[in-house]
């Protein structure tokens, strides 16, 4: 790994006033190239971030790479770049990813043994020196092309939404995985599907629950999509129920994305037409209890109806928050994309924030992949341009979007009006108040939501805040002014 140079300062330069970090890859000896699609998929766990770049040219064309970053108290540092030991062209390493913190699963579309054939599933385990490849699930075991994967605890779910002679309706296989070793598997098929309808377009597993979808299955509406829910009981996956897209139309792609955090299931229908707009998209939130389900909310993109937003193309739910990607949103440029964060309050799911890229280029597809984990949000823009390189890609990291109760609805402070600078800072920062807003109080929160300091209006007469005793990492400044509050995300560096 000596050939890798991480330009960490680049991350800091792109830290905006709302805490948004724009992650880019800078590799010694490797030029940014068009169509790398860095950020095709993003994941995170307790201490690391994972970013795939499956169309990157490493040794061969489109053999792909996966980038891993350490998250140390809110500071992002490059850790490892994973490549195939014997790559072939069009391997597309990292087209699908899953991790549970101890195991990392990556897929390839081709292999050395069977180029242009069925995909392989590569298993890695974490060691003191990084992630090490320990096993490969070959086509002799998984007889299909992976189209979706999910991993939680010992359950590795792999969907293959491809019709073959052996599996005309596709299937989902759930492997028992421990330290990179597979100890048996269970196969799920739905034989009642009609011709050309397959299961496995999307899968997600959480604790003992599994959800999987068929975007073209017919229920009450022809080819509108269907989702199945299973539970791990007595060493087998028992069917609980299937969820039909009752208010949809053909080819809404209900089930294109699924995410479960018991007892809630989020299902994306990115091609559903809403209010006369084609492919606007929608997300459905279900509460699953007692072997039944109840629709709690139908989420829609905010603002005027826009065609081809593809709202719901990606979803990630965690407890009472859900992140939704809309990679075709035109808010900051044609198809620049957006991501939404909703929160459940008293059985209602309400919009908390809308995120967009801090770049002005079009067709960036911000929101093509989203992942919410313990109050942190990752959003990819895998088609975003960098230095005139088309589709190079970028990833945005938001360190804390859900944790501080009561603060998610506070307005981000207007740039040029009231804010702290420099940002990042070292030993101190200064409160700038160009519009002479009457400040009553300033509260400082840690990255975990703990109230650290409270400054009164008299203390704020001195607008320089001494931070020598503060630890490095993220902080949240809440300005209380006459009639309103503002929040700013800041970072202290060494």
Digit-coded pLDDT (tens) for 64-78: 999 999 988 778 888
pLDDT at position 268: 97
pLDDT at position 45: 92
pLDDT at position 386: 66
Last residue of a domain, which of 369, 398, 427? 398
pLDDT at 468 over 50: yes
Check whether residue 429 and residue 387 sit in a common domain: no
Contact predicate 400/375, CB 8 Å: yes
Asked if the structure places residue 404 within a domain, the reply is: no
Asked if the structure places residue 30 within a domain, the reply is: yes
pLDDT at position 2: 27
Asked if the structure places residue 186 within a domain, the reply is: yes
pLDDT at position 283: 97
C-beta neighbour count of 280 within 10 angstroms: 25
**Any idea what DSSP says for residue 159?**
E
Q: What is the mean pLDDT of residues 143-150?
A: 84
The boundaries of the domain holding residue 49 are 8-398
Helices (H) and strands (E) in the chain, counts: 1, 36
pLDDT at position 415: 45
CATH assignment at residue 426: 2.60.40.10
pLDDT at position 314: 98
Check whether residue 247 and residue 189 sit in a common domain: yes
219's tokens: 């229920």
Q: Which of 125-129, 171-175, 262-266, 389-393 has the weakest average pLDDT?
A: 389-393
Q: Which has more confidence, 403 or 128? A: 128
Last residue of a domain, which of 398, 431, 454? 398
Check whether residue 434 and residue 354 sit in a common domain: no
pTM of the model: 0.78
Strand 418-421: give its sheet, edge to edge. 418-421, 428-433, 464-466
Tokens 């209602």 label which residue? 348
**Any idea what DSSP says for residue 274?**
B
Check whether residue 358 and residue 421 sit in a common domain: no
Q: What percent of the chain has pLDDT over 90?
A: 40
Asked if the structure places residue 406 within a domain, the reply is: no
Check whether residue 391 and residue 425 sit in a common domain: no
- How many Å apart are CA 155 and CA 100, to the nearest integer? 10
pLDDT at position 398: 86
Asked if the structure places residue 384 within a domain, the reply is: yes
Asked if the structure places residue 203 within a domain, the reply is: yes
pLDDT at 301 over 80: yes
- How many Å apart are CA 140 and CA 100, to the nearest integer? 25
pLDDT at position 482: 74
**Any idea what DSSP says for residue 223?**
T
Asked if the structure places residue 3 within a domain, the reply is: no
Q: Which has more confidence, 47 or 403? A: 47
Check whether residue 69 and residue 161 sit in a common domain: yes
pLDDT at position 11: 33
CATH assignment at residue 151: 2.130.10.130
Q: Which of 352-356, 405-409, 474-478 has the weakest average pLDDT?
A: 405-409
Check whether residue 250 and residue 364 sit in a common domain: yes
pLDDT at 406 over 70: no
- Domains held by the chain: number: 2
Check whether residue 286 and residue 418 sit in a common domain: no
Residue 263 preceded by cis peptide, ω within 30: yes
Distances in Å between the Cα of 130 and the Cα atoms of 27, 125, 127, 240, 305 are 18, 8, 5, 39, 46
Check whether residue 214 and residue 303 sit in a common domain: yes
pLDDT at position 440: 81
Asked if the structure places residue 1 within a domain, the reply is: no
Q: Which of 51-60, 92-101, 133-142, 284-293 has the weakest average pLDDT?
A: 133-142
Contact predicate 95/107, CB 8 Å: yes
pLDDT at 270 over 50: yes
Check whether residue 344 and residue 465 sit in a common domain: no
Check whether residue 270 and residue 337 sit in a common domain: yes
Confidence category of residue 111, pLDDT binned at 50, 70, 90: very low
Check whether residue 483 and residue 362 sit in a common domain: no
User: Mind giving me the DSSP string for 432-454?
Assistant: EETT---EEEEEEEETTS-EEEE
Last residue of a domain, which of 398, 430, 451? 398
**Any idea what DSSP says for residue 30?**
B
- How many Å apart are CA 162 and CA 429, to the nearest integer? 56
- How many Å apart are CA 312 and CA 317, to the nearest integer? 12
């Amino acid at each position: 790994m000596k050939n890798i140079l991480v330009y960490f300062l680049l991350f800091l330069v792109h830290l905006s006033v709302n805490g948004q970090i724009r992650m880019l890859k800078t590799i010694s000896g490797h030029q940014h190239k068009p169509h790398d699609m860095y950020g095709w998929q993003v994941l995170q766990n307790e201490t690391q971030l994972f970013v795939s770049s499956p169309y990157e040219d490493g040794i061969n064309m489109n053999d792909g790479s996966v980038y891993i970053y350490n998250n140390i108290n809110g500071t992002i540092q490059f850790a490892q770049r994973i490549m195939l030991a014997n790559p072939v062209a069009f391997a597309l390493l990292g087209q699908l990813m899953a991790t549970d913190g101890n195991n990392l699963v990556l897929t390839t579309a081709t292999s050395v043994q069977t180029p242009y054939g069925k995909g392989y599933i590569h298993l890695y385990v974490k060691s003191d020196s990084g992630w090490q490849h320990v096993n490969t699930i070959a086509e002799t075991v998984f007889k299909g092309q992976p189209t979706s994967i999910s991993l939680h605890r010992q359950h590795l779910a792999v969907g293959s939404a491809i019709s073959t002679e052996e599996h005309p309706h596709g299937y989902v296989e759930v492997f028992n995985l421990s330290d990179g070793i597979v100890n048996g598997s269970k196969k799920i098929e739905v034989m009642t599907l009609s011709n050309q309808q397959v299961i496995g377009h999307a899968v997600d597993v959480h604790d003992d629950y599994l959800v999987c979808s068929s975007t073209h299955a017919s229920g009450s509406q022809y080819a509108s999509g269907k989702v199945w829910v299973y539970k791990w009981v007595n060493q087998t996956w028992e069917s609980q129920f299937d969820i039909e897209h009752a208010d949809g139309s053909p080819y809404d792609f209900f089930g294109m994305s699924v995410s479960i955090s018991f007892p809630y299931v989020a299902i994306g229908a990115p091609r559903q037409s809403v209010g006369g707009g084609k492919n606007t998209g929608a997300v459905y939130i279900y509460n699953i209890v007692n072997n039944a389900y109840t629709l709690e909310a139908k989420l829609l993109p905010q603002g005027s109806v826009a065609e081809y937003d593809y709202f719901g193309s990606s979803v990630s739910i965690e407890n009472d928050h859900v992140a939704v990607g809309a990679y075709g949103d035109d808010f900051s440029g044609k198809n620049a994309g957006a991501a939404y964060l909703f929160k459940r309050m008293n059985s209602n799911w309400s919009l908390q924030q809308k995120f967009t890229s801090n770049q002005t280029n079009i067709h960036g597809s911000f929101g093509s992949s989203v992942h919410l984990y313990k109050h942190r949000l990752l959003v990819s823009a895998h088609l975003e341009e960098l230095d005139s390189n088309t589709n190079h890609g970028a990833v945005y990291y938001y360190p804390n979007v859900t944790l501080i109760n009561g603060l998610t609805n506070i307005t981000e402070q207007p740039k040029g009006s009231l804010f702290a600078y420099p940002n990042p800072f070292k030993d101190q920062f200064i409160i700038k108040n160009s519009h002479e807003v009457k400040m009553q109080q300033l509260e400082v929160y840690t990255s975990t939501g703990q109230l650290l300091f409270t400054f009164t209006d008299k203390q704020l007469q001195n607008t320089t805040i001494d931070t020598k005793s503060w630890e490095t990492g993220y902080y949240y400044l809440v300005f209380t002014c006459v009639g309103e509050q503002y929040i700013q995300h800041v970072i202290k560096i060494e």
